[in-house]
Amino acid sequence: MNKLYIIIIPFLLLFQTMFAQTKEIKGDTAYWYKRNIEFQKTLDLKDFEKSQDEFNFRFWNHGQIIEISKDSSEISGSIVNYIYHTKKPNKSQRETLTSKTLLTSQQSKNIYDILKNSKILELPSDENIEKWSQGMDGITYIIEHSDKKSYWLKNYWTPTSQDSIPEAIIVLDLVKKLSDTLNLKDVYKSFKKSLPKKGCYNSGGMVNMCYASNSFELGYSGATKLPLGFYSSYSATYIGETKINGGASLQYNFDNNGFHHLNLQIAKWNIFYKNSSPSDYIAYNYQNRILDLNNIKSEFENHQLKYGLNLKKNFSIGAGLDYLSKNYGKIGGLLYASKWFSEPKISTTFSTSIFDSRINYKAEIFKDINFRSAFLVNRISIGIAYEDFMEYKDLYFSFRVMI
């Protein structure tokens, strides 16, 4: 008897599997069918072709899927949010991030009633609707539904562009009722808000949303009179879920005779102009120097505060105050300007402080070399700078690596 069970049970399972795959497939059986089959596996969705539920329904919008199933008297449903993510711009390798929210019994019943009261289940795919035009851009809604015997897959390209033909009105009415009943926009907004604030995101359309990557720079900094030194900086748009929009840098040059130049800067951007152009920034700069000035060991200390704007065409300006402390106690005006040239990837900056009749200034130029491959280093910068500070003149040079 046990041997008979061993033979019969696999046979029944095989029969059930074969029976579940005999549904008649209707609708768009070409491109959309093949695409959806693969993507269903990626999102771990129910296989409507094999399901023996009394009723299944699935609605696809960009980045969002609504599923409803009915088996006997039980109705269940879910919202699946998804988005494509690349870790860096211009990268072809992408991952699909998803989240699933189960609907309450009442929500599921409400959507089921909407579907049954709509004519969407009787509507053919748009290719079989007279006067339904097609295009390359726009938005395509995909609808799947099944019963125990048949499986339908139908798509509708941009119903808002169909001159109000009756079938387009049916689709648009369904889209609105689904969105309003389930607050789909708020649900998707909450999903996107929970995503890591790095890389680029795309919900299936033509638009990418990219976050400015956090960056860390480290390198050598030297000068003709202070040949030893280093440079480091870190800037971040987000740290975890917290929006920072700030950064800090440290430059230190020295020699073997006790002379040095310390330069520390802290900056924050998007102060008043948060999501617009131009954007703004505020920066505090502290400098401490012990210099050989005309064979005299001289110590200087600066506190600089400036506010500025990032204008169009990669041009920035700023103005503020420069307090020269220690033995001097002078307050001067500070002016700043920078320009980034995207084609040769060269940046230039000029800053000057004016104390009575004394003008200090510094001019810098940097050449960037970017790496777009999956290399650890994102960019290398090579730069030179000339400074005239309180009659102390020096030529700086640096080599920086951005990770």
CA–CA gap between residue 50 and residue 23 (Å, rounded): 8
Beta-carbon contacts of 396 under 8 Å, excluding residues fewer than 6 positions away, are: 221, 222, 223, 253, 364, 384, 385, 386, 387
pLDDT confidence of residue 22: 64
The tokens for 402 are 């951005």
From residue 367, alpha-carbon distances to 65, 342, 349 in Å are 47, 10, 12
Per-residue pLDDT tens digits for 139-173: 889 999 999 999 999 999 999 999 889 999 999 99
pLDDT confidence of residue 68: 95
CB-CB neighbours of 235 under 10 Å: 19
User: Dihedral of the CA atoms 100, 105, 108, 110 (nearest 10)?
Assistant: -140
Q: Is the confidence at residue 6, as pLDDT, over 50?
A: no
Q: Where are the domains of the chain?
A: 22-209, 212-402
Q: Give start and end residues of each alpha helix (H) in 222-372.
A: none
Per-residue pLDDT tens digits for 51-90: 889 999 999 998 999 999 999 889 999 999 999 998 766 5
Per-residue pLDDT tens digits for 211-225: 767 889 999 999 999
CB 115 within 8 A of CB 57: yes
Contacts 24+ apart (CB under 8 A), 292-296: 292/225, 292/257, 292/259, 293/390, 293/391, 293/392, 294/391
pTM: 0.64
CB 80 within 8 A of CB 98: yes
- The mean of the pLDDT values for the chain is 87
CB 240 within 8 A of CB 216: no
The architecture of the domain spanning 212-402 is Beta Barrel (2.40)
The tokens for 121 are 């289940």
Please list the helix, strand and coil fractions of the chain in percent, rounded to the nearest 5, in that order. Answer: 20, 50, 30
Mean pLDDT of the region 175-200: 91
